[in-house]
Structure 1
């Protein structure tokens, strides 16, 4: 690996081999949306696990972006108003996409073409916007990934 990891604010999960990093402000719905995606994965009988919640250690290893978790919070996710719960987790995972939760008052209905999220200096990921009110956020994310692959 090339450098020391960057410690960023976010939530990282992996579902069926696809790493997702949820980004946004504190209280913006990242953890809840990630938890919903893990629950949807379980319903669809897809393997899914938390990598990190709140603090994510990001490291670029050649062309791969690897996420891991500080030891003190490994396996824990905060569900606002419900508390901190323990969930299935992995020590690290490759991250493929940044997920940007969208509040209900967002003005633009369509995302910018080829949108990228900056994680740390020199580290960027394709971005996927997901409405916080989405009933099946993982299905929406997977549909968007298929569209991005078709355009890429």
Structure 2
């Protein structure tokens, strides 16, 4: 009798990166710029940023914290549109502290409410920010969200 194949872990369509020691989950529709945002952060942050996963992310909640890791076949790979697939150093797992949702500009509030600035994933409450699709300075806004806490309005 053959062995039963091991089930692959469930994944979400997203990318993830560790920025200055904090995990960032980037979500959005196909073609919205998730990989481009992660690539910009990798280039801007150099040693302070590490790829976790691109295109598909395995999420797991543990003790009230959310962890992201790459599916094995995609570990260390990132797609650069117009160039192809690049191999990058990566982390096998990291805790997520910020969720970035890439959305049409009309869905991105200039001053988000407290409710819009949080999201629950796998039972874990996390900080959230909405970024307009194609926002040229998106990587700067992610760094600002990590370095400078927002003032509640």
TM-score (norm 2): 0.79
> Match of 1:99?
100
CA distance 1:103–1:36, shift in 2 (3 Å): farther
1:103 deviation in Å?
Answer: 4.0
Q: What is the distance in 2 between the residues matched to 1:84 and 1:17?
A: 25
Q: Conserved in 1, the CA contact under 8 Å of 2:14 and 2:34?
A: yes
Q: Conserved in 1, the CA contact under 8 Å of 2:108 and 2:130?
A: no
> Match of 1:66?
67
- After superposition, what is the alpha-carbon deviation per residue over 1:24-54, rounded to whole angstroms, capped at 9, x for unaligned? 1111111111111111112xxx421111111
Secondary structure of residue in 2 paired with 1:147: coil
Q: What is the distance in 2 between the residues matched to 1:114 and 1:41?
A: 29
> Match of 2:4?
none
- Divergent runs of 4+, >3 A: 102-110, 117-120
**Superposed, which structure 2 residues align to 1:15-34 within 5 Å?**
15-34=19-38
CA distance 1:118–1:30, shift in 2 (3 Å): farther
> Match of 2:52?
51
Unpaired runs of 5+ residues, structure 2, are: 1-7
Secondary structure of residue in 1 paired with 2:90: coil
Which has the larger Rg? Answer: 2
Secondary structure of residue in 2 paired with 1:66: strand
After superposition, the CA RMSD in angstroms is: 2.4
Unpaired runs of 5+ residues, structure 1, are: none
TM-score (norm 1): 0.79
